[in-house]
Structure 1
Amino acid sequence: VVPTFIFCHSFFEPQTRMICGILIKNELNQHELQTFPHADLVKQALLQALCFPLSSPHQSILFTIVGMLTTQSPWPQAIEAIYKSAQTSVGRNDQTIIHAIRTLGEVIGGGAEYHNNFLRDVTELLIEKMNDPKIEVRTQAIDIMSDVI
């Protein structure tokens, strides 16, 4: 089943809506996702979508796809968007922050070659989230940090 949000946000062009729908419907693997036609268009759409508060299942799907893209190849804009998403809990639910934190953890854990300063910032953010007032967020951050260390 293709999530309805893919088809209802006006910022998605028709072609992009279709591509995102196909991506999610077929649950493409990492290699297929990398070699998928119009991959840049999909990345752009996902980046835009990350800026909008979405319901949990949709956030989960988005972060899964973005996570697949970012662990496979350097894609700094997406990482930065996820980083910003994890940084602020304003107008976002716990699941959004948890998915963002988890994806950042995968980036660090995957030994991705990003600028050292950025990795330091991400690590500091995870440490900060280990003291988050929300227990779910705190638990997730602690789990990730223990995996990374």
Structure 2
Amino acid sequence: MKVPALLILLVEDNADHAELVRRNLARHNPAHRLVHLRDGESALDYLFHRGMFAPPKAPPRPHLILLDLRLPKLDGLEVLRQVKQDPELHLIPTVVLTTSDAERDLFKAYDSHANSYLAKPLDYGAFTGLLETFGRYWIGCNRYPWPETRLH
């Protein structure tokens, strides 16, 4: 079965980290589309079709969310809680991708129904290796709830 191109929402305030994710995504399939937002408030506006993302400009729902925890305006844990409590959004796989290796953040993320928790290594090579592994699984192997209309 041919997997359609994915729409991935990346919520990340670090421009360098966002660029590494973008490059890794393009290596797996250039047809995948990445939407990059820099703060938690914008992410919720995007997902709930509010503010500048309100109809008629409402974007399609993403197939996957990559979420940093340490974000301006609204932290990633609150974004995660709101996404997983919403009946229209809770099925979207949400992967925490953060610099925090703190056990309390890990437990809070899984308690809020994160689908995966990845701690960003400080070393560039290790970070790109983590992104490659992420891509192989979440983009290459994981199955998403098709048809596309279910997430729109």
- For the criterion TM > 0.5, the same-fold answer is no
TM-score (norm 1): 0.35
Structure with a larger share of its residues in strand: 2
| TM-score (norm: length of structure 2) | 0.35
Structure having the larger proportion of residues in helix: 1
Q: Considering Cα pairs closer than 8 Å and 6+ residues apart, tell me whether 1 or 2 has the greater RCO.
A: 2
